[in-house]
Structure 1
Amino acid sequence: MKFKFTIILFLTAILLLFSCAEKTIPDPPLLTDKWITVYDSDAKGITQTWYKEFPSTNFLGSTWDDWQMPNARYRWHKQRFKVGELDSTSHYYLSCNTIASPSLIWLNGTLLDQVNYTQSYAIDISSSLVKNDYNELVIRNEYADDSFGIHELKIKKNLDDTCLIEKKMDYNSMPLYHEYQSYVNNLIIYEAFPRHFSGGNFTAIQNMTSRLNQLGINMIWLMPIHPIGQSHKVGSLGSPYAVRDYFTTNFRYGSMTKFSSLRSMLHRNHIKLMLDAPISTSAVDHSWVRDYPNYYMKDEQGNMIQPAGYKNKDVFAFDMSNPSLIRKIESYLDFWLEQGVDAFRLNGSKNINADIFQEFRDHFTDEGQDPFLLSDGSQADHLLFGLDAVSGDALYKAFRDISDGKADARLIGATLAEEIKAYPQNSKIVHYEENHETPRAMRSMGIDEHHLALFTIFTAPGIPMIYCGEELNNPPKMSLYSKTDINWYNIHWPTYNLISKLSKFRKESSILTHGDLHQIADTKAIGGFSRRYRNETWFVLMNYSNIEQSYQIDVKTTVFSDGVSGVVENGKVKLKAKGYCVVK
């Protein structure tokens, strides 16, 4: 009896030992074919961030199951899996076999990629996996063309290079995170550098309101208006982007009362106000350097550092992974919204993780605010995370390449068509021919090509932007670090009148503010594109050559022109040298 009892105790101990022992986690981690599944009939998963907080449900399915809800465009899947110790000498890949519809894939809340119809696909997830912890993979499938789903997903190690697909993210099929306000369709922006106006202050800009109205401007972008750091100051006045205090105005520009007066005047004239907000750096003598040193990036020795590639010593780079800093930046933006500001250009955003913009947007939504947010970069993913518009750098480069003889007129239509494909649908791109970082267009390209570029940005999709003094006769480049003397009465009337006419034309033409863009049969000399809206099509044509050109197209009427170019008979358009017109 005693012997049997001992045997039972021994076997029980063995069972307990095995039951308590931690199971070996396979390397690479295993995915099953069972996924928590939710149908998204209202297309609300993106805005409600299901990729971070998945809806509660007990329904399990696979990514290849039959579609159970025909009225639902999207189906979401989530799988939680354990990852053990990772092999630091290996790469880990998410391998997908037979992708039958557009799909978004997130790992641990971060968007990995957008994939489309393909037999096989793999993406390197080594940097996204969290070792010795649970990881979450979320997929959104789209029901498109009676096709849907992903047949098989596995995590693999060290795939052969031939298994990898070099692909470009298909942003065009992705949804915008934030629906911008309707007024954005009609925006015409004027970038203003307060320092360089006559008087160099808010009152000087206020006195220019009638000019802005005549030019058709309905949003003014003020470059930073804050006190400038004095330590390691560049030039006689310093860079306006080296901010020493975010919650007040530069005394040279005027008091908060003067700022309020400017804002009121602008709003009375239906001009919105956008502030240039440096959110990635501060001046080296900002009080936060002393009071909140954890707000800043540091090197291995613990010293605060400048942004990567920045040559001057007047700013320190913020550590944008610090939640306390993000809250402080939000309070900075909130403060200026309370002062009546309508919009922000987020300077430094091109070097910031796009997830932060979603935090900003969600914060504003919670506060009942809806400011227009402009990136200083051209990245498409900024529009997927809450910003309203990005910079149209590609079109500016096309203007320069044509002017420098590196390309011909066909580059204009090709660039705009490529831009449409490279961004989510209904994206807003700010187009320009000069800004505070570029050479002056009139001086560097000449008057004729400057006017062709102006004509292009006002007739293309997006938002046209005019730079401070662009309406003047041969204006000088304005220094970022000192005051440039400018005669604001030396107006170049052909340019002034052209901007005014183009602004009026754009605002009165829904086809320009809402229409689609399509390429045309352009030539080396004649570039352009078509715009389509509802049942109407317009053709935008520009002659980059130095001689008169003819163009055959099925049109009857000239809608807008330089005064000479246009339809001369049914199906035939003549364009003067460096001429332009819109025909239908």
Structure 2
Amino acid sequence: MVRPGQQWWRDAVIYQIYPRSWADSDGDGIGDLPGITQRLPHLTYLGVDAVWLSPFYTSPQRDGGYDVADYRDVDPLFGTLADFDALTARAHELGLRVIVDIVPNHSSSDHPWFQAALASPPGSPERARYLFRDGSDGGRLPPNNWTSMFGGPAWTRITEADGSPGQWYLHMFDRSQPDFDWTNPEVRDELEDVLRFWLDRGVDGFRIDVAHGLVKYENLPDTDLTLDANVDATALAPMWDQPGVHEIYRSWRRLADSYAIEGQDADRILCAEAWVLPGPALAQYVRADELHQSFNFEYLMTPWLTADQRAAITDSLAQADAVGAPQTWVLSNHDVVRHATRLGYPQRPGLQRIEGIGADDPQPDAALGLRRARAATAVMLALPGSAYLFQGEELGLPEATQLPDEARQDPTFARTDGKSKGRDGCRVPIPWEGDAPSYGFGPGGRSWLPQPPEYADLAVDRQRDVPGSTLELYRQLLALRRKHRLGRGRLVWLDDQPHDVLAFRVESDEGAVTVLANPGGSPLPLPAGAQILARTGTPGTAGQVDPDETVWLNG
């Protein structure tokens, strides 16, 4: 689906699947690899270029699979290695590339390495694979004041084999996710071998979890920063974005490049999940000899306001261009509130990251949120570079904001005593058939998280081939994006429009497309003779761009 010989990743549209929530083949209420394989034709219908799979490895599932106990096998919950091979083969038959998650910052506490560390004495080679330290105040207190991103302290004290209180180990996330010590060559060798294992099975790349967290500042000093969801602090904190990560990724890039096939567009790619600000620091991850892509979370958190959108797009393109990389755009994923809900709240200047939403929290304007989400997506898919979509956003799925607390499974909810509702709301299983049990998610009525009743009308079968549906809007935009090669284009701002209109033209070898987005409150007249290619309004009004609508024009 991407033209050969062109470094496919530079303008690819990549679709994220959260395996437990996409399709259930056996009726146990949890999605699996055979279910994904069965539903892959949906992605070719949609028109994306690649699929990214969140973790499916052997895991106790305390953090949705991001706590890996065996990096070289499939958890029985999701299937077998043979199922993975069948999925990869089918995806390649359909022209889809396959990207998988790699979780290098930490393992599960069930991992054999960590179990060996617990059974070994302080100072042993087994403990040297993780960040074990003696406590302060005679061992009674943690080694420093770092806090976990999931709430509470980032250190847990162990009981030694003889029953005495022992050392502490670092976990920047859940206590079941001990951080590796990346100064240890054994750790580096092991994770590179894991990459080879999956590359040898035919994967086309990796999304790197917590890519900015592998290296900690020497001696692990105290910090004055509060480590919650305040991503503005990450570039200044001693546990994030340390210079040593770049040497690791240069080594990984050499490894990935060794799998390229001469004369073919077969690059194996590396994409960073790096919550790093400001933008120039993030751009360092995508220099020519490092990673291919890094998610643009600054753009994700930009409100639907004209000035903020223009500034974020301008800065993002400049930062990527400075290092010769394509920009990578994203609006939703498995860790953030879905943008169809996020944009249903009042928009204020400055970066906005909304935490999970519960039934007792202020609720969004669902209709406004969907209208803005469609408009924002039409802006994103016109921008030069690559784009990532999160499963279900092509259906206009909102966040599940009414989940009962007893159904929540995100460890953030438990570790904060319910103060943070966590990420379950964006992970609810996908509706495929509006009238089927579990909305067609599986052959029975089971679903590991309860599905909101409004998902029935948003199911795939209720939207497919329906003019104006969100599904058909995504298909239309993706087809036009490919036809006009917008991902390979050059953006030019148009300053002949009112100040509250986001107006630009993207020029490529296949022509030009003008984009008019109206986050303002007044209708915008269309230029005389304008030829409309696509519009996000439901329905649009002839001769104008309505508030919270985006229109693509020919030329």
Three-state SS of the structure 1 residue aligned to 2:212 is helix
- Aligned twin of 1:381: 284
Amino acid at match of 2:294: V
Three-state SS of the structure 2 residue aligned to 1:539 is strand
Q: Does structure 1 retain, via aligned residues, the 8 Å contact 2:370–2:396?
A: no
- Aligned twin of 1:273: 98
* Alpha-carbon distance, 1:518 to partner: 2.6
* Alpha-carbon distance, 1:317 to partner: 0.5
CA distance in 1, matches of 2:20, 2:306: 37
Q: Does structure 2 retain, via aligned residues, the 8 Å contact 1:558–1:567?
A: no
- Aligned twin of 1:581: 551
Q: How do residues 59-138 of structure 1 correspond to structure 2 at under 5 angstroms?
A: none
* Alpha-carbon distance, 1:566 to partner: 9.8
* Alpha-carbon distance, 1:396 to partner: 1.2
CA-to-partner distance for each residue in 1:413-463, whole Å, 9 max, x for gaps?
221111122223542232122111111222332111010111011101121
2:373 to 442, 450, 468: 450
- Aligned twin of 1:469: 392
Matched, 1:187 2:12: yes
- Aligned twin of 2:175: 313
Three-state SS of the structure 2 residue aligned to 1:442 is helix
Q: How do residues 421-436 of structure 1 correspond to structure 2 at under 5 angstroms?
A: 421-423=318-320, 424-436=322-334
Three-state SS of the structure 2 residue aligned to 1:538 is strand
* Alpha-carbon distance, 1:334 to partner: 0.4
Amino acid at match of 2:492: H
- Aligned twin of 2:192: 330
- Aligned twin of 2:306: 409
Matched, 1:241 2:103: no
Length, aligned pairs only = 383
- Aligned twin of 2:300: 396
Larger displacement relative to structure 2 (513-522 or 411-420)? 513-522
CA-to-partner distance for each residue in 1:6-48, whole Å, 9 max, x for gaps?
xxxxxxxxxxxxxxxxxxxxxxxxxxxxxxxxxxxxxxxxxxx
Matched, 1:299 2:133: yes
CA distance in 2, matches of 1:519, 1:418: 13
Three-state SS of the structure 2 residue aligned to 1:274 is strand
Question: Unpaired runs of 5+ in structure 1?
Answer: 1-179, 403-407, 569-573
* Alpha-carbon distance, 1:567 to partner: 9.6
CA RMSD of aligned residues (A): 2.7
Matched, 1:420 2:317: yes
* Alpha-carbon distance, 1:464 to partner: 1.8
Matched, 1:349 2:211: yes
- Higher gyration radius (CA): 1
Question: Unpaired runs of 5+ in structure 2?
Answer: 25-30, 118-125, 136-165, 215-244, 262-266, 277-281, 344-368, 401-407, 412-423, 434-458, 464-468
CA distance in 1, matches of 2:296, 2:490: 17
CA-to-partner distance for each residue in 1:528-560, whole Å, 9 max, x for gaps?
32223359553211112354212669x854344
- Aligned twin of 1:487: 431
Change (3 A) 1:528 1:412: farther
Amino acid at match of 1:452: A
Change (3 A) 1:328 1:515: same
Amino acid at match of 1:198: A
Amino acid at match of 1:265: R
Q: Does structure 2 retain, via aligned residues, the 8 Å contact 1:191–1:221?
A: yes
Three-state SS of the structure 1 residue aligned to 2:394 is coil
More strand by share: 1
Change (3 A) 1:556 1:344: same
Change (3 A) 1:530 1:304: farther
CA distance in 1, matches of 2:510, 2:12: 24
* Alpha-carbon distance, 1:371 to partner: 1.3
Matched, 1:548 2:523: yes
Amino acid at match of 1:518: V
Three-state SS of the structure 2 residue aligned to 1:373 is strand
Q: Does structure 2 retain, via aligned residues, the 8 Å contact 1:222–1:275?
A: yes
Q: Does structure 2 retain, via aligned residues, the 8 Å contact 1:186–1:507?
A: no
Larger displacement relative to structure 2 (288-297 or 253-262)? 288-297
CA distance in 1, matches of 2:501, 2:540: 12
CA distance in 2, matches of 1:515, 1:420: 12
CA distance in 2, matches of 1:561, 1:371: 35
Change (3 A) 1:438 1:204: same
* Alpha-carbon distance, 1:501 to partner: 0.8
Change (3 A) 1:240 1:505: same
* Alpha-carbon distance, 1:562 to partner: 4.0
CA-to-partner distance for each residue in 1:360-405, whole Å, 9 max, x for gaps?
112333465741100001511111241000111122112xx22xxx
Amino acid at match of 1:383: V
- Aligned twin of 2:405: none
CA distance in 2, matches of 1:457, 1:417: 13
Q: Does structure 1 retain, via aligned residues, the 8 Å contact 2:204–2:268?
A: yes
CA distance in 1, matches of 2:511, 2:42: 33
Moved beyond 6 Å, runs of 4+: 563-567
Matched, 1:221 2:52: yes
* Alpha-carbon distance, 1:476 to partner: 4.3
CA distance in 1, matches of 2:168, 2:470: 46
Amino acid at match of 1:496: L
2:75 to 250, 256, 267: 250
Percent identity of equivalent pairs: 20
* Alpha-carbon distance, 1:242 to partner: 0.5
CA distance in 2, matches of 1:383, 1:480: 31
Q: Does structure 1 retain, via aligned residues, the 8 Å contact 2:476–2:534?
A: no
CA distance in 1, matches of 2:526, 2:429: 45
Q: Does structure 1 retain, via aligned residues, the 8 Å contact 2:208–2:270?
A: yes
CA distance in 2, matches of 1:365, 1:190: 23
Name the structure, 1 or 2, with higher relative contact order (CA <8 Å, separation 6+): 2
Amino acid at match of 1:394: E
CA distance in 2, matches of 1:296, 1:349: 17
Matched, 1:513 2:492: no
Change (3 A) 1:298 1:263: same
Amino acid at match of 1:328: E
Three-state SS of the structure 1 residue aligned to 2:387 is strand
Three-state SS of the structure 1 residue aligned to 2:393 is coil
CA distance in 2, matches of 1:220, 1:271: 7
CA distance in 2, matches of 1:535, 1:196: 38
Amino acid at match of 2:169: I
| TM-score normalised by structure 2 residue count | 0.64
- Aligned twin of 2:439: none
Three-state SS of the structure 2 residue aligned to 1:464 is strand
CA distance in 1, matches of 2:286, 2:167: 34
Change (3 A) 1:197 1:421: closer
2:43 to 209, 212, 216: 212
Amino acid at match of 2:170: Q
Q: Does structure 2 retain, via aligned residues, the 8 Å contact 1:213–1:269?
A: yes
Larger displacement relative to structure 2 (473-482 or 487-496)? 473-482
Q: Does structure 1 retain, via aligned residues, the 8 Å contact 2:317–2:327?
A: no
Three-state SS of the structure 2 residue aligned to 1:525 is coil
